[in-house]
Structure 1
Amino acid sequence: MTDEHATPEPAAEDSAPAVDTTNESTEAPSNFEWYVLKVQSNREKSIKASLERSIKREGLEEYFGEIVIPTQKIKENKNGKPRVVEHKLFPGYIMAHMELNDETWYLVRDTTGVGDFTGAAGKPIPMQPHEVAAMLGTDLPQGTSQPEPLTKIDFEVGEMVKIKEGGFEGFEGTIDGIDEHSGRISVLVEVFGRSTPVELEHWQAEKV
């Protein structure tokens, strides 16, 4: 009797810790989801800071990850000088990586400036992975740390422009293509009775 009971006990002791450890390592990450919060427009930064202070004050750091204001870097020319500025992609919204439970739900909702979670019928709905990747810029080629700033180009396809520099200076044509990544435009100009595409830097043309 004693031997029969003694034999299975070591096996149970050996297997139990392995199961517990596995559960601890997989459950915590799976509880975190990305949620979108509706907030007062033009106050995104102060509301983000207020939310982060509330999380620390209530001791709920274990239930929150990043709080993010989705932005995009844009290259602009101001007074003839190039500069890179950050533009908010979705004014009036911030993203929170968190575990949703009663405590975190009330903390977020009670933060001044936060309207509500986005969702349906009053129920917060987490974002899908492809939505998160698009908003955070994580769907990038391998080895790329962050997206290159886009160039703000104040033209539209089909718009008439006049070339002010380069080999076609003085020619007028129609915008055929715009590449905000390279800052270049394609203009169709009339050369010997034929429409010819000319590649230019966006600053080499002006509106007619």
Structure 2
Amino acid sequence: MSETSDTPREEWDDDVAAEESIDEVEETDVEEPEAEDADDVEESDEAPVAVVEEEGDDEVEEIDPVEEFKRSLRGQLGEWYVIHSYAGYENRVKSNIESRNVSLNMEDYIFQVEVPTHTVQEFKSGKKVPVKERVLPGYVLVRMDLTDESWAAVRNTPGVTGFVGLSNKPSPLSIDEVAKLLAPEPTEEAKKATAKASTGPAVEFEIGESVTVMDGPFATLPASVSEISPESQKLKVLVSIFGRETPVELSFNQVSKI
């Protein structure tokens, strides 16, 4: 009797355990995919928003390098002055001023000395080679607080023939004038884009002809043609700068006939 009655009890317990196990499996199979789907939905909603914001930030952060340079100039000490030197000795004069600045303890008054240059393309051995060329032959720029002592320190430097302006009261350059002479040059890509936009039919010039400079630090200034190089499509013109005629080399498309 006891063996017969125990068998149904054991089978019933096994059935209950099996049903509970099935319930647990069903709950696991149903709930976990729902949680994963919810996470996937949240991630897919957020990702496009982040990309749009980053692209918008990149567009806003584009900065004109010339305007950025002008802002930096406004935060600097002193003002920029132009001094005469012997043509071809500009870098030596720069070194002489910097040496005297230290030896005379004038660092609190004389802050920076620069020889403005720009890059031009020259043909060497049949190839175009970038070469640094002085923008203002015979001139050097000095950033300084003008006092009697700082004026004398610069004026009495070997190779310096004087300041531009009145002999005892030089005239400082404006921010725009300094930017034209010292601002960073445009990238090669920007130069190519400008050249492509300004490319037109060949223009014939004559020695002594009056033209207007259309590009570079002397844009809008009148000039006269002194040399013509048809093979390189370049002109050498004379521009009146600080009361002195200064030779400047330009491409044909950087000047316009008057």
**TM-score range for the pair, normalised by the shorter chain length:** 0.5 to 0.7
Is 1:81 the counterpart of 2:81? The answer is no
> Which position in structure 2 is the counterpart of 1:108?
154
Q: CA deviation at 1:157?
A: 4.1
Distance in 1 (alpha carbons) for counterparts of 2:156 and 2:166? 20
Distance in 2 (alpha carbons) for counterparts of 1:58 and 1:64? 11
Q: Report the 3-state secondary structure (helix = DSSP H, G, I; strand = E; otherwise coil) of the residue aligned with 1:158.
A: coil
Distance in 1 (alpha carbons) for counterparts of 2:168 and 2:113? 21
Q: CA deviation at 1:64?
A: 1.7
Q: Report the 3-state secondary structure (helix = DSSP H, G, I; strand = E; otherwise coil) of the residue aligned with 2:155.
A: helix
Residues 37-66 of structure 1, C-alpha deviations (whole Å, 9 max, x = no match):
011111001111011000000111121222
Is 1:38 the counterpart of 2:84? The answer is yes
Distance in 1 (alpha carbons) for counterparts of 2:91 and 2:187? 23
TM-score when normalising by structure 2: 0.44
Does the CA contact (< 8 Å) of 2:79 and 2:172 recur in 1?
yes
Counterpart amino acid of residue 88 in structure 1: R
Distance in 2 (alpha carbons) for counterparts of 1:105 and 1:158? 47
CA RMSD of aligned residues (A): 3.2
Does the CA contact (< 8 Å) of 1:73 and 1:148 recur in 2?
no
Distance in 2 (alpha carbons) for counterparts of 1:93 and 1:131? 14
Is 1:48 the counterpart of 2:87? The answer is no
Residue among 203, 206, 213 paired with 1:158: 203
Does the CA contact (< 8 Å) of 2:118 and 2:185 recur in 1?
no
Q: CA deviation at 1:81?
A: 2.0
Q: CA deviation at 1:78?
A: 1.2
> Which position in structure 2 is the counterpart of 1:199?
none
TM-score when normalising by structure 1: 0.53
Distance in 1 (alpha carbons) for counterparts of 2:138 and 2:167? 20
Distance in 1 (alpha carbons) for counterparts of 2:145 and 2:167? 20
Counterpart amino acid of residue 109 in structure 2: Y
Q: Which runs of 5+ in 2 are unaligned?
A: 1-74, 193-200, 206-214, 217-232, 234-251, 253-258
Aligned length in residues: 127
Distance in 2 (alpha carbons) for counterparts of 1:120 and 1:57? 27
Bigger strand fraction: 1
Question: Higher relative CO (CA 8 A, sep ≥ 6), structure 1 or 2?
Answer: 1
The 5 Å alignment of 1:54-133 reads 54-120=100-166, 122-133=168-179
Change over 3 Å in CA distance of 1:131–1:79 after alignment to 2: same
Distance in 2 (alpha carbons) for counterparts of 1:32 and 1:59? 16
Q: Report the 3-state secondary structure (helix = DSSP H, G, I; strand = E; otherwise coil) of the residue aligned with 2:88.
A: coil
Q: CA deviation at 1:31?
A: 5.8
Bigger helix fraction: 2
Distance in 2 (alpha carbons) for counterparts of 1:121 and 1:157? 45
List structure 1 runs of 4+ shifted beyond 6 angstroms. none
Distance in 1 (alpha carbons) for counterparts of 2:76 and 2:167? 24
Q: Report the 3-state secondary structure (helix = DSSP H, G, I; strand = E; otherwise coil) of the residue aligned with 1:61.
A: coil
Does the CA contact (< 8 Å) of 2:118 and 2:132 recur in 1?
yes
Larger Rg: 2
Distance in 2 (alpha carbons) for counterparts of 1:80 and 1:46? 32
